Amino acid sequence: MPLIDRRLLSYFDWTLFAIVLMLEGLGLLTVLSASYVPSAHRMDPLFVRQLIWIGVGTLLMAGAVLFDYRALVGYSYPLYVVAVLLLIGVEVIGHSSGGSRRWINLRLFKLEPSELAKIAVMFVMVRYFRLEPPPGGWGFRHLIIPFLLLGLPTALVLKQPDLGTAIVLVLITGTLLFVSGLNWRVMAALMVAGMLAAPLSWHYLKPYQRTRLVSFIDPQADPLGSGYHIIQSEIAIGGGGSWGKGFMKGTQARLNFLPEETTDFIFAVYAEEFGLAGSLLLLGLYACLVGRGLWIARHARDRFGSLLAIGITGMIFWQVAINMMMTTGMLPVVGIPLPMISYGGSSMLVTMAGMGLLISINARRHTF
Amino acid sequence: MAKFRPKKKRLPVPKLEPRIAVISALMLTVMAVVAARLYYLQVIKNPEFSQLADRNRIRIRRLPAPRGLVFDSRHRPLVNSRPSFNAVFVPEDSDNLSQTIEKLQKLLGDDDIAGKVADAEHNGRAPYEPITVDENLDWQQVVALETHQLDLPGVGLEITPARHYLYGDLAAHLLGYVGEVSRNDLLRLSSYRMGDEIGKFGLERGWEPYLRGNPGGEEIEVDAVGRRLRVLREIPDQPGESVVLTLDLDVQEAAEQAMQGKNGALVAMDPNTGYIIAMVSHPAFDPNTFVGGITPTNWHKLITDPEHPLEDRVIQGIYPPGSTFKLVDSVAGMEEHTLTPETIYNCPGGMWYGGREYHCWRKGGHGRIALHRAIVSSCDVYFYNVGLHLGIDRLAHWAHLMGLGRRTGIALHGESAGIMPSSAWKKRTYHQPWYPAETLSVAIGQGYVAVTPIQMVQVVSEIANGGIRYKPQFVRYVEGLDGHIIKAYPPVVEARLHIDPDYLETIRDAMAGVVNSPWGTAHRVHLDNVTVCAKTGTAQVIGAGKAGVRSGEPEGEIPVKYRDHGWLVAFAPEDHPQIAVACVIEHGGHGGSSAGPVVHDVLQKFFQLYPPNAPRLVGEPETADMAAR
């Protein structure tokens, strides 16, 4: 048997690959612009690092393409255990930045285990729900183990605190639950319970999370304080206009009015410089990516592959949706990166691995 | 296609297919909502957000324009703007705030820099906004700052134009002063900003729109913390326009010199145009002390000074005109035909009226005299009779025509109208009828009548020029930066009095006698080459009578504050008058001896510069035409 199955190459999803490359290219440009310092006459280290992450991520993607995703059934629990252990490790030896403890310093780079948690939780959920549900769909008793599997990393992530990732974990799980056949009544009950619990959760929010919520409802209440991020982000995006201020010409980011301009708020930098045209291009690329992912889910060879495609697509989609809605002022500020655009190695590697798996699922629908 | 294994028979087991469709629809909807939101922000709200983005990054720094220059009638500068070196401090740039402030205080010799910094912070200074800690540094302070630059992080020098009055207190009340724009002014004037300079008084106030110019500015791009990054756009300032006065520096200096050590006012005017040649109010102040903000101590000193240096006595000082009023009596009497040049009254040294004796200043009396001699000797009894025959209302009518009891309309703020009483006035003010005896006091310029020096110079000008009342003006024209005349101020005729030229000739002749005849009271203003016409006056100070002081007592024995004010009004030459002067010396005693020497010096200087028979520069018709062009 040759090292690489020929069918993998002939059924390689070039469209998806092209979308991924385009997104990464746009991301790279934006990171360059956001981190540009006029006085420095050399390549910005952030740009170079992102370039390296793209390279490593592409290798990882290639590896994932070659990898038979069905083997993940066996790897998902060990990976989950590693992710949870790393999350615990963050609590113990974590590196904090900006008021939260999210990273483990590995000298060469800083690992962000919450990014790994996204894919690990997704894997165990896909593994758990890969079997056909009983007639009538998954009932409450089937949900006990998944909820425990979700609860542990979510609690650890919330403790960092990282509300954004916790929300993404819940949404990925919810999406898989729904698609894999959750009983409608159970789903309705869960939603009602969630809505009832929402006011209660106020008590469990950190003060800064509460002020974010308040300032989301009324950003002008404290424009230089907690409402600052939303206001400045909207100014950047709105100031971009139809065609943008031009590459490297966005004043909001360059003059440091924008917070977190290379990570969570990178979309504001992008939208300011490239305008509505650029924003819609980016949104369109994501829509193609999500659409392609859903197509692969529908055409996958088996239920596991189909659910895995849903999980990966959901992971990308929810991050994109929350990030864009947050930067455009439709949601409160929660820290979530924009996949393939935001600077960050862990997020890049996890996303690229997911893309590789998607391609793998697609290629393998023709093999037996 | 082999997908997952559907088990069609076991419905309603949920299959993946329909649920994927649901989730696809959800995702598509969310993305469409995001797209709509982007359209809203980037297209519909774009103008608003663009503006906000610019407001974020652009700070505008105003750079005041140098104010316009002020010249005398011969284009010699009186007021200009010179660079003022100010110390500015950006606390954010200092690594050790208290140490830098301490060093700065030592170098500048100012102990309150810490206070100024605290004040600025208290008033909500924006980050990186420089604080002006000391203005108008002298050369040594500038050098000290320059040489210690390295020890003073965050301290810099800023050069701004500062008003400079070249001759200190010369014509201070006319030139006025500048100060920081007040809160009230800011509400009224949209083009001013906090901290701008504005003319507060005198010419600086009245000609503010011309003198101010247009401030320039810099659009500075700042980052989120307010650090200045670069200048985006510079708007050059436009210096103010120059004002050319009718004042003659030499005559003004001579007047200031002659008034030295005296309190009072002097105003000299061209009787043919109304142009002011010199204008002095003493005591004065130095407008330079107001530049860059007057210190509270200096301000307190000025406003609490019992001699009121801020008062412009030329337009605000009201004095009884004393015997100078007899000129008005004469005009009114002859015009109303109750008096002719030949009318003779007997002066035995006083007269009885209404059961009371009214004295003449000369106890021995003047005997039987006609108008000429009455003016020359300033006989009180003669003019009591003139007043009685006229009656107060006809007298008031003419006095009013000649400009008494009304503002002259000179373009200075706070002019006083004085008082010219009449029976109606008394009814209005005191609800009492007019008693004829009161006319006697008014006739010799006492009682209710009160005038300002500017009114008196107008009266004497009318006699000199044949009865035309000109509006007193002190600005000849406003000159643009290119030397172009932007606005000219041609003479303004307020009224033509239509006084019989013969009557005026009679009065002028008598006024010449005041100076030149042996009985005259103003020998001190005599000039060898020019026939000067004058009238003296001695105005009793209100309250002096009550204090038991009687007019005519030897001056040395009366306390200064009860001594009479000395008046002298004059014009010259007799035949074609070129200059009219009114001068009052407070508590100077007799007008001839107190105001006389002052007016003499002014006239002498004037005729040195403008010999009576040579072509004149001031008030010459062709120059007036030039100004009007």
Would the CB atoms of A175 and B1 count as touching at under 8 Å?
Answer: no
Question: Which of B81, B281, B323, B593 is flagged as catalytic?
Answer: B323
Q: A89 in contact with B at a CB cutoff of 8 Å?
A: no
The answer to whether position A85 is within a domain reads: yes
**Which of A175-179, B137-141, B292-296, B302-306 is predicted least confidently?**
B292-296
> Omega into B283 within 30° of 0, i.e. cis?
yes
- Asked if residues B22 and A180 have their Cβ atoms less than 8 Å apart, the reply is no
The minimal CB distance from A275 to the residues B3, B23, B42 is found for: B42
Would the CB atoms of A242 and B43 count as touching at under 8 Å?
Answer: yes
The three-class DSSP label of residue A129 is helix
Chain A segment 182-211 residues within 8 A of B by beta carbon are 182
DSSP secondary structure letter of residue B291: T
Would the CB atoms of B13 and A236 count as touching at under 8 Å?
Answer: no
CA pair distance B96, B153, nearest whole angstrom = 9
CA B134 to each of CA B107, B141, B394: distance values in angstroms, whole numbers, following the listed order: 11, 10, 62
Band the pLDDT of B618: cuts 50, 70, 90: very low
The minimal CB distance from B20 to the residues A279, A298, A328 is found for: A298
B323 is catalytic: yes
Nearest CA in chain A to B32: A283
Band the pLDDT of B14: cuts 50, 70, 90: very low
Alpha-carbon gap: A85 to the closest alpha carbon of chain B (Å): 32
- Asked if residues B291 and B178 have their Cβ atoms less than 8 Å apart, the reply is yes
The answer to whether position A40 is within a domain reads: yes
CA pair distance B484, B590, nearest whole angstrom = 48
Type and span of the H or E element at B536? strand B533-539
**Percent of chain B scored above 70 by pLDDT?**
91
Residue range B207-260, pLDDT digits in tens: 999 999 888 877 777 776 667 777 777 778 889 999 999 999 999 999 999 999
Which residues of chain A does B42 touch, with a Cβ-Cβ cutoff of 8 Å?
237-238, 240-242, 271, 275-276, 279
Q: A39 in contact with B at a CB cutoff of 8 Å?
A: no
For chain A, helix, strand, coil in percent to 5 are: 70, 5, 25
Count of pairs with CB atoms under 8 A, one residue in A, one in B: 157
Residue range A246-302, pLDDT digits in tens: 888 888 877 777 777 888 899 999 999 999 999 999 999 999 999 999 999 988 888
Q: Which residue has the tokens 């924006």?
A: B126
What is the pLDDT at residue B85?
87
Alpha-carbon gap: A52 to the closest alpha carbon of chain B (Å): 30
Range with the largest mean pLDDT of A106-115, A284-293, B123-132, B191-200 = A284-293
Chain A segment 6-25 residues within 8 A of B by beta carbon are none
Q: A276 in contact with B at a CB cutoff of 8 Å?
A: yes
Nearest CA in chain B to A307: B16
Band the pLDDT of B431: cuts 50, 70, 90: very high
CA A145 to each of CA A153, A179, A306, A342: distance values in angstroms, whole numbers, following the listed order: 13, 18, 21, 33
User: A211: which residues sit within 8 A by CB, 6+ positions away?
Assistant: A222, A225, A226
CA pair distance A189, A186, nearest whole angstrom = 5
Would the CB atoms of B222 and A256 count as touching at under 8 Å?
Answer: no
Token pair recorded at residue B359: 């004295």
Q: A56 in contact with B at a CB cutoff of 8 Å?
A: no
Nearest CA in chain B to A256: B224
Does domain B249-286+310-628 correspond to CATH entry 3.40.710.10?
yes
> Omega into B12 within 30° of 0, i.e. cis?
yes
Token pair recorded at residue B315: 């337009």
Residue range B309-356, pLDDT digits in tens: 999 999 999 999 999 999 999 999 999 999 999 999 999 999 999 888
Nearest-10 crossing angle of helices B453-465, B501-516: 110
Would the CB atoms of A328 and B3 count as touching at under 8 Å?
Answer: no
The answer to whether position A299 is within a domain reads: yes
φ, ψ at A24 (rounded to 5°): -65, -40
The minimal CB distance from B23 to the residues A175, A280, A286 is found for: A175
Q: A327 in contact with B at a CB cutoff of 8 Å?
A: no
- Burial, B126: exposed, middle or buried (Cβ in 10 Å; 0-12, 13-18, 19+)? exposed
CA B443 to each of CA A232, B205, B384, B548, B589: distance values in angstroms, whole numbers, following the listed order: 80, 38, 6, 23, 20
SS3 letters across B339-389: CCCCCCEEECCEEEECCEEEECCCCCCCEEECHHHHHHHCCHHHHHHHHHH
Overall domain count for chain A: 1
Would the CB atoms of A238 and B10 count as touching at under 8 Å?
Answer: no
Interface test with B, best of A132, A267, A296, A316 (most B CBs within 10 A): A132
Write the DSSP string, A184-233: HHHHHHHHHHHHHHHHHHGGGS-HHHHHHHHHHH-GGGSTTTTTHHHHHH
Residue range B55-78, pLDDT digits in tens: 777 777 778 889 999 999 999 999
Q: Tell me the ipTM for this assembly.
A: 0.92
CA pair distance A54, A339, nearest whole angstrom = 12
What is the pLDDT at residue A368?
52
What is the pLDDT at residue B1?
43
- Asked if residues A220 and A329 have their Cβ atoms less than 8 Å apart, the reply is no
pLDDT at B513 over 50: yes
Interface test with B, best of A298, A301, A336 (most B CBs within 10 A): A298
The minimal CB distance from A317 to the residues B27, B39, B229 is found for: B27
- Asked if residues B586 and B263 have their Cβ atoms less than 8 Å apart, the reply is yes
The minimal CB distance from A238 to the residues B24, B42, B223 is found for: B42
The mean per-residue pLDDT over the stretch B257-265 comes to 93
Residue range B343-399, pLDDT digits in tens: 999 999 999 998 888 989 888 889 999 999 999 999 999 999 999 999 999 999 999
Domain ranges of chain B: 56-79+161-215+230-245, 249-286+310-628
pLDDT at B418 over 90: yes
CA pair distance B402, B387, nearest whole angstrom = 17
pLDDT at B9 over 50: no
Would the CB atoms of B39 and A251 count as touching at under 8 Å?
Answer: no
Alpha-carbon gap: B93 to the closest alpha carbon of chain A (Å): 19
Torsion sign across C-alpha atoms B272, B274, B277, B282 = positive
Nearest-10 crossing angle of helices A266-299, A345-364: 20
The minimal CB distance from B49 to the residues A238, A283, A365 is found for: A238
User: A297: which residues sit within 8 A by CB, 6+ positions away?
Assistant: A179, A306, A307, A309, A310, A313, B16, B20
The minimal CB distance from A238 to the residues B7, B48, B221 is found for: B48
CA pair distance B270, B579, nearest whole angstrom = 5
The answer to whether position A41 is within a domain reads: yes
Residue type, B362: R
CATH of domain B56-79+161-215+230-245: 3.90.1310.10
Q: A235 in contact with B at a CB cutoff of 8 Å?
A: yes
CA pair distance B417, B405, nearest whole angstrom = 5
Which residues of chain A does B39 touch, with a Cβ-Cβ cutoff of 8 Å?
276
Q: Which residue has the tokens 């239509």?
A: B498
Would the CB atoms of A275 and B2 count as touching at under 8 Å?
Answer: no
Residue bearing the bigger pLDDT, A99 or B35: B35
Residue range B81-121, pLDDT digits in tens: 888 888 888 887 788 888 888 888 888 887 788 888 888 77
The answer to whether position A306 is within a domain reads: yes
Torsion sign across C-alpha atoms B583, B588, B592, B593 = negative
pLDDT at B619 over 50: no
Query: Cα Rg for chain B, rounded, in angstroms?
Result: 36
Residue bearing the bigger pLDDT, B545 or A36: A36
Residues of chain A with pLDDT under 50: 1
Which residues of chain A does B37 touch, with a Cβ-Cβ cutoff of 8 Å?
325, 328, 330
User: B289: which residues sit within 8 A by CB, 6+ positions away?
Assistant: B295, B298
Alpha-carbon gap: B32 to the closest alpha carbon of chain A (Å): 9
pLDDT at B512 over 80: yes
Nearest-10 crossing angle of helices A72-93, A113-129: 150
Nearest CA in chain B to A257: B224
The minimal CB distance from B16 to the residues A182, A241, A306 is found for: A306
CA pair distance B429, A162, nearest whole angstrom = 85
- Which residue range is the domain that position A279 belongs to? 6-364
Q: A73 in contact with B at a CB cutoff of 8 Å?
A: no
Would the CB atoms of B19 and A179 count as touching at under 8 Å?
Answer: yes
Report the C-alpha dihedral over residues B526, B527, B532, B535, rounded to 10 degrees.
-20
Q: A269 in contact with B at a CB cutoff of 8 Å?
A: no
- Asked if residues B478 and B618 have their Cβ atoms less than 8 Å apart, the reply is no
Residue range B439-487, pLDDT digits in tens: 999 999 999 999 999 999 999 999 999 999 999 999 999 998 888 899 9
Would the CB atoms of A325 and B37 count as touching at under 8 Å?
Answer: yes
Residue bearing the bigger pLDDT, B306 or B626: B306
Residue bearing the bigger pLDDT, A211 or B488: B488
